[in-house]
Amino acid sequence: MCGIVGVVSNAPVNQLIYDALLLLQHRGQDAAGIVTQQDRKFFMHKAKGMVKDVFRTRNMRALLGNSGLGQVRYPTAGNAFSEEEAQPFYVNAPFGIVLVHNGNLTNAKALKAELFNLDHRHINTESDSEVLLNVLAHEIEVSTRGLPLQPQDIFAAVSRVHQRIKGSYAVICHIAGHGLLAFRDPFGIRPLCIGKGADGTHMVASESVVLEGTSHQFVRDVQPGEAVFIALDGTVHSQQCAVNPQLMPCIFEFVYLARPDSVMDGISVYQARLNLGETLAKRVISTVPPNEIDVVIPIPESSRPSAAQLAQLLGLPYREGFVKNRYVGRTFIMPGQGVRKKSVRQKLNVIASEFKGRNVLLVDDSIVRGTTSKEIVQMARDAGARKVYMASAAPPVRYPNVYGIDMPTSSELVAHNRTVEEVREIIGCDALIYQDVDGMKKAIGALGKNLAGFDASCFDGVYVTGDISSDDIVRLNENRVGAEEGQEDTSRLALPNHAD
Ligand SMILES: O=P(O)(O)OC[C@H]1O[C@H](OP(=O)(O)OP(=O)(O)O)[C@H](O)[C@@H]1O
Ligand SMILES: NC(=O)CC[C@H](N)C(=O)O
Ligand SMILES: [Mg+2]
């Protein structure tokens, strides 16, 4: 779940793309990049690090032109530590194309061999996004066959791309001298929406918060399988390019990944989290009588709406017991278990008076590896809590994710092949209450209109693209560098490092 943005304007876009990336920082903290275009020339700057650290004034000045795109990366394929795999990616033919991608291709390895053997294209990194760019470039080449590029050629190319690639992808690319192309996979697993500014600027972005935060009006979501082409003169063309598109967005976006002030596919992320708190409250009652709970405490940041709603329904006080150091990033999206574990303590500190002598119900949005909950329960006990109950607004995460969330192996998931009681013992709390899968789907699904369902694979093991075997999961994981324990990026500190 990286964050992507693209802009076509009639004024310089470097600052606008930078501002958009800041609004997407929660989707990727590992690397950032921007490309702009002027007179068919691309200007690119990308590097590892957070947006504020990657772009200095001199880099910004060099990003010329009225159109461009950008990305913040949260690696799910290839090498988490490689600067070369920061996005955007560039290919010089046909025309010159740069691309940013949010998602994960599940057949990247086979495609890479096919690209070399049949299409005679060389991929120089382990990134699935570079593979995607080359498949697209090849198909655009085939479509145009030396003729001027027309929107229908682009749409024909995207249709063939849909047939060749598998997995999840929200994509924005810039074709030099022509315009911006955006498309979404046939299930709409990863989000993408379009907006417009008062001055005629067109913007495509992962989340609606980017449009709002940069004073653009939300126009609509890009439909699953649809491609939208915005020519450099501002003309917009769009076409459905998939054979059987169905809206099945990733449910984890609503649970944790997206910002609560975004609306995705018609669903308010904030309302989704409130609803999750409501259904969770009912499950809490059946496990721990509310009169045995003195106070409800959220685990900042993402669990707050669910915890507040749960507390209100149970008629219990809602208090802040943990203070978050806002200068430490999101721990879940950091690469490597060592840095994640260290960061929980760096990030959260207790207000001891909220715990002393009380029975506390801690609420988190999800428990994935258990890193956060284990530390937090211990911190609550050290602060003098009498009983520590723990509730998760999402069901147990039991299966690997192959669609752009970095949990590639089941062994790292604390709930995999374990009962709730076994997880409770590991986390060390007095009672553990999870949301159930149906409750979660209903709570969020009730807010959507054209949904065919959700990708909830990490909770129920059902992969919406229907083509994932356990061999695939092993292979996808083999392609990861830096995901496993012992492969920490020792150069990387949990805190943004201004010396980077
Ligand atoms: O079980 P774990 O493997 O620890 O993962 C789950 C935790 O990670 C996330 O928090 P994070 O700190 O990333 O971000 P947040 O501030 O948005 O809650 C999530 O909100 C949970 O708290
Ligand atoms: N989380 C994502 O969307 C990652 C995009 C791409 N698979 C990468 O690893 O760079
Ligand atoms: Mg959290």
ipTM of the prediction? 0.97
> Which of ligand 2's atoms lies nearest the C-alpha of 102?
3
Q: How far apart are CA 405 and CA 179, in angstroms?
A: 30
Q: How far apart are CA 122 and CA 104, in angstroms?
A: 20
Cα(331) to ligand 3 centroid in Å equals 8
CA nearest to 290, candidates 281, 298, 299: 281
Check if 241 is active-site. Answer: no
> Which of ligand 2's atoms lies nearest the C-alpha of 76?
9
pTM, two decimals, is 0.94
Q: What is the pLDDT of residue 499?
A: 28
Q: How far apart are CA 300 and CA 304, in angstroms?
A: 6
Is residue 128 in contact with ligand 2, taking CB distance under 6 Å? yes
Is residue 167 in contact with ligand 2, taking CB distance under 6 Å? no
| Amino acid type, 151 | P
Q: HEC profile for the chain?
A: CCEEEEEECCCCCHHHHHHHHHHCHHHCCCEEEEEEEECCEEEEEEEECCHHHHCCHHHHHCCCCCEEEEEEECCCCEECCCHHHCCCEEECCCCCEEEEEEEEECCHHHHHHHHHHCCCCCCCCCCHHHHHHHHHHHHHHHHHCCCCCCHHHHHHHHHHHHHHCCEEEEEEEEECCCEEEEEECCCCCCCCEEEECCCCCEEEECCHHHHHHCCCEEEEECCCCEEEEEECCCCEEEEECCCCCCCCCEHHHHHHHCCCCCEECCEEHHHHHHHHHHHHHHHHHHHCCHHHCCEEEECCCCCHHHHHHHHHHHCCCECCCEEECCCCCCCCCCCCHHHHHHHHHHHEEECHHHCCCCEEEEEECCCCCCHHHHHHHHHHHHCCCCEEEEEECCCCCCCCCCCCCCCCCHHHCCCCCCCHHHHHHHHCCCEEEECCHHHHHHHHHCCCCCCCCCECHHHHCCCCCCCCCHHHHHHHHHCEECCCCCCCCCCCCCCCCCCC
CA distances from 233 to 96, 229, 358, 426, 437 (A): 18, 11, 63, 58, 47
Q: How far apart are CA 117 and CA 280, in angstroms?
A: 52
Domains of the chain, CATH where assigned = 3-246 (3.60.20.10), 271-447 (3.40.50.2020)
Q: What is the pLDDT of residue 331?
A: 78
Binding-site residues for Mg(2+), please? 302, 364-365
Binding-site residues, please? 302, 364-365
> Which of ligand 2's atoms lies nearest the C-alpha of 190?
3
Cα(331) to ligand 1 centroid in Å equals 6
> Which of ligand 2's atoms lies nearest the C-alpha of 27?
1
Q: What is the pLDDT of residue 488?
A: 42
- Residue 392 CA: which ligand is closest? 1
Choosing from 299, 302, 327, 405 the residue with most ligand 1 atoms within 8 A of its CB, the one to mutate for a pocket test is 302
CA distances from 316 to 273, 287, 303 (A): 18, 16, 16
Is residue 27 in contact with ligand 2, taking CB distance under 6 Å? no
Is residue 1 in contact with ligand 2, taking CB distance under 6 Å? yes
Q: What is the pLDDT of residue 487?
A: 47
Q: What is the pLDDT of residue 479?
A: 67
If you take atom 10 of ligand 2, which residue's CA is the nearest one?
75
Is residue 129 in contact with ligand 2, taking CB distance under 6 Å? yes
Q: Provide the greatest CA pair distance for the chain.
A: 76
Is residue 94 in contact with ligand 2, taking CB distance under 6 Å? no
Across the chain, what does the average pLDDT equal?
A: 92
CA nearest to 393, candidates 459, 455, 454: 459
Q: How far apart are CA 469 and CA 107, in angstroms?
A: 12
Choosing from 29, 331, 405 the residue with most ligand 1 atoms within 8 A of its CB, the one to mutate for a pocket test is 331
Q: How far apart are CA 263 and CA 349, in angstroms?
A: 31
Q: What is the pLDDT of residue 77?
A: 82
Each residue's pLDDT tens digit in the chain (500 positions)?
Answer: 799 999 999 999 999 999 999 999 999 999 999 999 999 999 999 999 999 999 999 999 999 999 999 999 998 887 777 888 999 999 999 999 999 999 999 999 999 999 999 999 999 999 999 999 999 999 999 998 878 899 999 999 999 999 999 999 999 999 999 999 999 999 999 999 999 999 999 999 999 999 999 999 999 999 999 999 999 999 999 999 999 999 999 999 999 999 999 999 999 999 999 999 999 999 999 999 999 999 999 999 999 999 999 999 999 999 999 999 988 878 777 777 777 777 788 889 999 999 999 999 999 999 999 989 999 999 999 999 999 999 999 999 999 999 988 887 888 899 999 999 999 999 999 999 999 999 999 999 999 999 999 999 999 999 999 878 777 777 777 766 555 444 444 333 332 332 22
Torsion of CA 479, 485, 491, 497, to 10 degrees: 100
Cα(412) to ligand 1 centroid in Å equals 15
Is residue 127 in contact with ligand 2, taking CB distance under 6 Å? yes
Cα(303) to ligand 3 centroid in Å equals 6
Q: What is the pLDDT of residue 480?
A: 66
Q: What are phi and psi of 372, to 5 degrees?
A: -65, -55
If you take atom 15 of ligand 1, which residue's CA is the nearest one?
301
Is residue 130 in contact with ligand 2, taking CB distance under 6 Å? no
Pocket of ligand 1 (CB under 6 A): 256, 299-302, 330-333, 364-373
> What contacts 148, CB < 8 A, 6 or more positions away?
none
Asked if 375 contacts 345 with a C-beta cutoff of 8 angstroms, the reply is yes
Cα(256) to ligand 1 centroid in Å equals 8
Cα(363) to ligand 3 centroid in Å equals 10
- Residue 376 CA: which ligand is closest? 1
Is residue 73 in contact with ligand 2, taking CB distance under 6 Å? yes
- Residue 73 CA: which ligand is closest? 2
Cα(405) to ligand 2 centroid in Å equals 8
Is residue 2 in contact with ligand 2, taking CB distance under 6 Å? yes
Q: What is the pLDDT of residue 486?
A: 41
> What contacts 486, CB < 8 A, 6 or more positions away?
none
